[in-house]
Structure 1
Amino acid sequence: MEKQILSQQENIKKFSQLLGENGMSDQKKEFDYLIQYIDQMENQFDTVLEELRSVKQELNTIQDKTFRATANKAVDKVTAKVNDAKNSLIKLKQHVLKTVDKAVNDFKRQGKSALTAAVKKLNVKGMIETIKKGLDSATKSMDQNIDYLSKLGNEIHEANSHLKNVGRMFIGKDTKEITPRNTNKGLISKTQENIFFCMSVFTKMSVKTDAVLNTLSELEKKEEPKKSVKSELKDIKKTNSEPANAKLKSKNEIHLGQR
């Protein structure tokens, strides 16, 4: 199935155009940021998942079944977290398409109110915050599994070194001191390197998401209605008159009581 690029969809272009033509320039900027964000993030997710697939293929060439299963389990955990985060993005994408299609159709009958309702329903900031949580969760999983693979590699290295020393003892040779594992060699190191690459991509995606959220927050501040000077003076006058009215009411009550 061919991937839909949001920025190339006719109704997406039309909705953005309608926002601009109906005096909703800030909402248009917010919407355009969202579309660009979704298209970019989807490509990044695909890059990471492809990298993880290549890792799995390499791990499946390992002869040791126990080690292969353990390493695969670590990669599977990372892949599951990445897929969870990507699914959140896909849900957002489908939500955007559905909402925009309806808004473009409703605009013919309802005018600007259809656009206002669509912008509210999109809940751009809330949806992106959900994706951010998924990105951070996946990044944490990658970090934990890189550490796990490192410990696994060290254990295997020590076990192999002990076995070699046992063999030397059997044939009457002296044992050798166990040296630290060379972290630049071997399939475990290669797997860690690949997961670290995925982690660096996700870290950049998270930073990009923060930047988009900050931009949206700034746009929201601009959208907040400001009180006119006339309205503010009216409020001040009302506040100042309230104590005087209260005193007058109190005097009238006392006067009535004395009668």
Structure 2
Amino acid sequence: MSKAKQRRLAEQKEVRELLAVLKENNYSSAKDLLAAVRHVEELEQQLAGTMEQLAAMRQNLQEMQKSPLKSALQKTVHALEEKAEALRGQIAALKENIIEGCKQALAGFKEQGTASLDNLARFFHLRQGLASMQKTTESAIQLDNQAIKKIEAVSAEYHEAGKHLKNVGRALMGKEAVQEAKPMGKLAKTIAVPYKADRACLLAMRGTIQKAISGLDRLEQAAQKPSILQAMREQSEKAKAEPPKEAPVKNAER
């Protein structure tokens, strides 16, 4: 990957130049564009958190003995890794779209002036990418939920079986049976930790995606309304086109 691609989105030359142009010309869309850039950077950080949890899952699997639970979790981790790679590609596509959109907006500004910035949303094609990310994130959250439920179920079955064996022994000694099984054990809790942490990362990512979509909505809505600058330009052009009014003639003195 080139150094330009590795650079933070906010540090990309085209992004910085367009933000500067928008601010210099008092465009409120500068805030929406900057928010979109920050959301993408947040998504990158949240995905990094997901990758850390996947590494922890793989480590736990290496230490687990062969069992139906281990087999089930291996499939889950493989599926989560595929989702993480899909999210990585989707974030990269969002970055490319923003950079390319900034290039086109700057080119329009050089050719047509500030009038080309009134409909800034047309330069960016982010909605489909955000919708795809939303779908991928939801799917990954469900995988974590299923894994956590599986771990809890196996732990409950184990302790229920232990309670049953214990009660057999207590019955032989004439003691009263134990009614409740032990709560989720330390080992099961340890195994479940990275899945819960990964789910937290994905839930945060889902929230960031929703904020990004809301910001895109605002950017598109602003494009549908004539800007103040546009209204001022139109008023100025209208005033120039109107013929000058003649000064009223004063009554001659008698």
Match of 1:183? 184
CA distance in structure 1 between the aligned counterparts of 2:54 and 2:118, rounded to whole angstroms: 42
Aligned-pair distance for 1:107? Answer: 4.5
Tell me, yes or no, if the aligned pair for 2:155 and 2:185 is still in contact at 8 Å.
no
Pick the aligned partner of 2:21 from 13, 18, 22: 18
1:98 aligns with 2:92: no
TM-score with structure 2 length normalisation? 0.69
Q: CA RMSD in A?
A: 3.7
CA distance in structure 2 between the aligned counterparts of 1:93 and 1:202, rounded to whole angstroms: 19
Q: Which runs of 5+ in 2 are unaligned?
A: 232-254
CA distance in structure 2 between the aligned counterparts of 1:75 and 1:158, rounded to whole angstroms: 27
Report the secondary structure of 2:28's partner residue: helix
CA distance in structure 2 between the aligned counterparts of 1:70 and 1:127, rounded to whole angstroms: 31
1:49 aligns with 2:30: no
Match of 1:71? 73
Tell me, yes or no, if the aligned pair for 1:81 and 1:141 is still in contact at 8 Å.
no
CA distance in structure 2 between the aligned counterparts of 1:47 and 1:121, rounded to whole angstroms: 31
Letter paired with 2:217:
S
Aligned-pair distance for 1:203? Answer: 1.6
Aligned-pair distance for 1:115? Answer: 5.1
CA distance in structure 2 between the aligned counterparts of 1:217 and 1:103, rounded to whole angstroms: 18
Pick the aligned partner of 1:5 from 8, 17, 22: 8
Aligned-pair distance for 1:16? Answer: 1.5
Aligned-pair distance for 1:193? Answer: 2.0
Report the secondary structure of 2:18's partner residue: helix
Report the secondary structure of 2:186's partner residue: coil
Aligned-pair distance for 1:31? Answer: 1.3
TM-score with structure 1 length normalisation? 0.68
Tell me, yes or no, if the aligned pair for 2:46 and 2:201 is still in contact at 8 Å.
yes
Letter paired with 1:36:
R
CA deviations on 1:93-121 (whole Å, 9 max, x unpaired) are 12222333454456444545765687413
Letter paired with 2:22:
L
Match of 1:120? 122
Aligned-pair distance for 1:68? Answer: 3.0
Report the secondary structure of 2:46's partner residue: helix
Pick the aligned partner of 2:141 from 139, 142, 146: 139
Q: Which runs of 5+ in 1 are unaligned?
A: 229-259
Q: 1:99 to 1:211 in 2, by over 3 A?
A: closer
Tell me, yes or no, if the aligned pair for 2:159 and 2:182 is still in contact at 8 Å.
yes
Aligned-pair distance for 1:53? Answer: 0.9
CA distance in structure 2 between the aligned counterparts of 1:102 and 1:225, rounded to whole angstroms: 21
Letter paired with 1:85:
L
Letter paired with 1:183:
M
